[in-house]
Amino acid sequence: MTVAALQGRALTRAVEEASSLLGLGEAPSSALRALEVPRATGLWSEHGRVLAATPAIVALGNQLPNPSEALPAVFSLVPEVREAWLRVVRARLAEMGERGDVAALTEAVTNTGSGLASELVDVTAPSLAPTAYGELERAVLPAAAHEASAFPVLLRALAATAAVSCSAQTPASLPDIAFDDPSTAWRPGRLLRLPAPSDVAPSTVVLSGALDGRSHDGDAMRWTLHHPWAFLLAQMTFTKEAWEAERVSGGIAFELDPAHVSLFQNPPRVEVVVTLPSGEEIRCGSLGELAQRTIAQLGVTVLGHRITSSALDDGLALVIDALQRQDVWRFEHGAGGRRLAYTIHPSFSDACYRALGSRAFYRLGSPVTAAIRRTAEGWARERIARASTGTPSGDAL
């Protein structure tokens, strides 16, 4: 089916579904499923009646300066729409040249990139006349494609998708998420929503970011297993405890700057300190960066636009608050000269050795535990290497 065949409510549904995919990671599949070429690019996969976004659509959005521009980028993959928009862009560039607007033309050519430049060379009949897709353009662009105000967004959307082609292989189908089996959740290709007090929409394929406080009858283990961000951070303190129990050199600590002690319930930043087996103690960076690195190693992608570790630190403050309220984490106030730090709560530690906790944390969650430790040790060695060469560390991965 083509965009021309989608009119009125059907077109509105297609735009809404694409927006949901970009913002929430999944959408009911009806109108959007009918667009054959975008479906074949691997930007989403089919999961029953639901379309699930893939890491490729997050990567596409990250190429653009604003998250809203990912929406026209998706629809620019529809062949007849792309053809019409390319004619407009070619005509607009020609107009700039005729006006002698060197600055604007130089900027436009720079934003074009080699992939789109190759497409523009083959454009026939460039035109600034209104296209046949005005209804779509008004829904996804700042203005109709032929209007000057739409040109910058149109150019960036087309450039971002110039290298996107139909996938030779359909994205691997992800298993259903089972709360008591972390191995179903933390799979390559899975998306994870950012931490939030509650989900604005249910999630069936994407990992929820909700911290809605469901108590599960006061069972902290069940609460943790139902909330992915809580599980990830609980695994971090569990890894810390397991590492210490080995009675060998090395370990990890989650420390709080003394200036933030009054904010321990929801801290702005938690420092990760790694001790290598050699005894070297390395202050690596923030908890947000450890989480980002660990998630990436597991093949999971955070759903959001150009997420940095500092932005993630802001969201993790919600998670840390919830973990303390549920007696999963405990804040150590530094008595006896010890540093201000977070550890696993004793009652939750005990729960990790009972049936459900042992199965989830020890056996089925062991890949997450291993990823945390491997990431921490690799990060510490990377910091040492950077310090020796004077290379600064970056905020975003």
pLDDT tens-digit profile of 19-45? 999 999 999 877 888 888 887 888 998
- 4 pLDDT band, cuts 50/70/90, is low
Rounded to whole angstroms, the Cα distance separating 225 from 230 reads: 8
Task: Tell me if 285 sits within 8 A of 269, measured CB to CB.
Answer: no
The two tokens of residue 310 are 């500092």
> Is the pLDDT reported for residue 247 higher than 80?
no
Task: Tell me if 281 sits within 8 A of 387, measured CB to CB.
Answer: no
- Write out the E strands in 296-386: 301-303, 329-332, 341-344
> Is the pLDDT reported for residue 395 higher than 50?
no
Q: What is the pLDDT of residue 213?
A: 60
* Residues in a beta bridge with 285: 272
Please report, as a single letter, which amino acid is at residue 392. P
- 169 pLDDT band, cuts 50/70/90, is low
Q: What is the pLDDT of residue 99?
A: 86
Domain ranges of the chain: 3-160, 182-389
> Is the pLDDT reported for residue 211 higher than 70?
yes
Residues making up the chain, counted from first to last: 397
The count of other CB atoms within 10 Å of the CB of residue 71 is: 22
- 7 pLDDT band, cuts 50/70/90, is low
- Write down the pTM of the prediction: 0.92
Rounded to whole angstroms, the Cα distance separating 388 from 261 reads: 32
* Residues in a beta bridge with 341: 255, 332
Tokens 């700057």, located at residue: 257
- 212 pLDDT band, cuts 50/70/90, is confident
Q: What is the pLDDT of residue 396?
A: 39
Q: What is the pLDDT of residue 135?
A: 93
Distance from chain centroid for Cα 79: 28
Task: Tell me if 319 sits within 8 A of 237, measured CB to CB.
Answer: no
Kindly give the residue spans of alpha helices, DSSP state H, lying in 226-297: 228-245, 287-297
Rounded to whole angstroms, the Cα distance separating 396 from 392 reads: 12
The count of other CB atoms within 10 Å of the CB of residue 101 is: 13
| SS3 category, 59 | helix
Please state the φ and ψ torsions of residue 39, each to the nearest 5 degrees.
-65, -30
Report the chain's C-alpha Rg in angstroms.
Answer: 24
| SS3 category, 261 | helix
- Write out the E strands in the chain: 26-28, 44-47, 50-53, 191-193, 251-255, 271-275, 281-286, 301-303, 329-332, 341-344
Instruction: Tell me the average pLDDT across 87-115.
Output: 87
Report which listed range, 11-15, 30-34, 83-87, 337-341, is most confident. 83-87
Buried b (16+ CB within 10 A) or exposed e, 214-226: eeeeeebbbbbbb
> Is the pLDDT reported for residue 6 higher than 70?
no
Q: Higher model confidence: residue 258 or residue 11?
A: 258
